[in-house]
Structure 1
Amino acid sequence: MSGESTDLRGKTALVTGASRGIGRAVAERLAADGALVAVNYARDEVAAKEVVAAITEAGGRAFAVKAELGTDGDVESLFTAFDAGLRELGAEPPLDILVNNAGIGAKATIEEVTPDLYDQVFAVNTRALFFITREALTRMPDGGRIINVTSGVTRIAFPEGISYAMTKGAVDTFTLALAKHVGPRGITVNNVAPGFIDTDVNADWLRGNPEGQAYAASRAAVARVGVPHDISGAVTFLASDAASFITGTIIDATGGADL
């Protein structure tokens, strides 16, 4: 939770998929800059409580919100838990910052993608994001911030994960249209697109694997593998007043992959 600070005091943020990886780094950074952060998780309550504890110990404020996205009733479950968490803290209900970070991968070529896999990845990465955002807009005051964590695969061909890439392409289009729609309210909508990041999602081929590390670093112009805090800084910037005139765009946080 280090780095140049942006003032988010008095703001409330909801970060989906915040119990680990990029989501955890984003939650910690937003809290470090003053926001009250709702830490969403699907199943790992222990990990989510660890994030809340880390934020609290560092002087921030946070609470855990359980909701498994991509399932029936996910949006209702998410915001019921969000409202309950606010009440327990005696906090006000407006939601100032929404970070749509939760997502699942689907490493499969077009020949390997099954209908069930296709439906699952779209349910989490696209459908849940859409309807969570729609509900969030009913709670968000003018001047709010929506940040979607997408992927560099919308710029770089990724046939080995074609259905996953399609979901992120859909989010790019969603962001562009929504930014125009809510712009008159002063609400900004932007994407942050990570590249190869050292997280649990990539652990099987990247973490502790010198060959994987070397390959990922070779793809980036900055010649290294990204870490979650590389992404959290970009998200926090977009959540701040410093980015109030930026909307409908993408911050490429791939380290210059495949330039």
Structure 2
Amino acid sequence: MAKRDWNRRVCAKRGHITYAPDEQAPRERLRAATATGEAWRCLRCGDFTLGAPHGTGPAANAPLVARGKALRELFVLRLLAVERGLRGVLGVLVAWAVWKFSNSQDALHQLFDQDLTVFRPVADHFHWDLEHASVIDTIRKTFDYKRSTLVYVAGGVLAYSLIEAVEGVGLWLGRRWAEYLAVIATAAFLPLEGYELHEHASAIKIATTVVNVLAVLWILLSKRLFGLRGGVAAFEAERHSASLLEVEQAAGLLPAHA
């Protein structure tokens, strides 16, 4: 099975990124003359593409293009960003529902009792104790909550959802502050998830907790957060070493001053 070339796949979707360095040696290395005009080497996939370069300037100012490992990591981050975004949207809807419920608590309680009376003969026919069913007990307990408590709950859920949304946007854009936020926010809620698992374990809750733990560990180690594995200095050095100009320089294809 052929190895997937992420660089070319992204270029096929978004287009190539070319750059013309001012320095003669790297400029000649990245440029090619063809019968139909000049072509410039893409900084992401390394292929030559016809047309004028997208940018020009000193080689040191060449755009830092995600490629190789960095590109794969960005793909994983964007998967996490989508998951965080969906959780943020769902949380906002839940907060709105709780707030609406707090404003119509008495009316909903009366409506629930009326509907329960209608379904009671059916439940009796199937010998189901409707009055003491766990679902019914849980719903009735919510009617006993104070309106102020529900408003606080709605506010808390809304705040958490907004954090998730901001985190999702930051992860999608590949911002380092969002990686710190993702680790801190996820780790902060792990004790609560552990408590929920202890009280009511389910396959979905277990899978969600495992995914969150793995996500925290992956971001911590791969992004070298909080000084791990050399910290931000080692992370930036790794990013720069993945650029096309740096790769060619390390391989001796470009002079060291490029």
TM-score by length of 1: 0.21
> Which is bigger in relative contact order (C-alpha 8 A, separation at least 6)?
2
User: Which structure has the larger Rg over C-alpha atoms?
Assistant: 2
TM-score norm. by structure 2 comes to 0.21
Q: Greater share of helix residues, 1 or 2?
A: 2
Q: Which structure has more strand as a fraction of its residues?
A: 1
